[in-house]
């Protein structure tokens, strides 16, 4: 199995259950692990066979900016579905963390997986 990871991607979105949270953009920290549908890039060394990391990052940032959610769980699930649907990932893990949401807590977050990992 080969996996691609995108670590510590910072995005801004409107997220939260309180009205004031939905009015303000808040930072989130994302980590993605993606298993592409094909391993062809490992042998070919051709960009056409690879997952375009920059396109994934740009799409995730755009999605975050344009789609408010109440819950981290729903936001993470929507991102996982997006990566599978738009980029053909066989498997994806999306970690979403809200920095310093509660006094004394560095981060609170969720992890959502979609698809089936190869052995």
Give the residue numbers marked as catalytic.
98
The distance of Cα 99 from the centroid of its chain, to the nearest Å, equals 16
The distance of Cα 5 from the centroid of its chain, to the nearest Å, equals 10
**End-to-end Cα separation, the chain, in angstroms:** 6
Task: Give the integer Cα–Cα distance in Å for 36 and 115.
Answer: 11
Task: Give the integer Cα–Cα distance in Å for 8 and 28.
Answer: 9
Task: Give the integer Cα–Cα distance in Å for 29 and 45.
Answer: 30
């Amino acid at each position: 199995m080969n996996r691609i990871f995108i670590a510590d991607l910072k995005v801004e979105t409107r997220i939260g259950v309180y009205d004031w949270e939905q009015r303000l953009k808040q930072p989130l920290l994302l980590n993605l692990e993606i298993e592409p549908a094909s391993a062809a890039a490992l042998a070919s060394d051709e960009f056409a066979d690879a997952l375009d990391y920059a396109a994934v990052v740009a799409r995730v940032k755009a999605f975050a900016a344009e789609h408010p959610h109440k819950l981290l769980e729903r936001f993470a699930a929507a991102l996982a579905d997006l990566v599978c649907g738009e980029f053909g990932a066989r498997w994806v893990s999306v970690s979403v963390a809200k920095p310093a949401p509660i006094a004394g807590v560095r981060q609170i977050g969720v992890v959502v997986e979609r698809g089936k990992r190869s052995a």
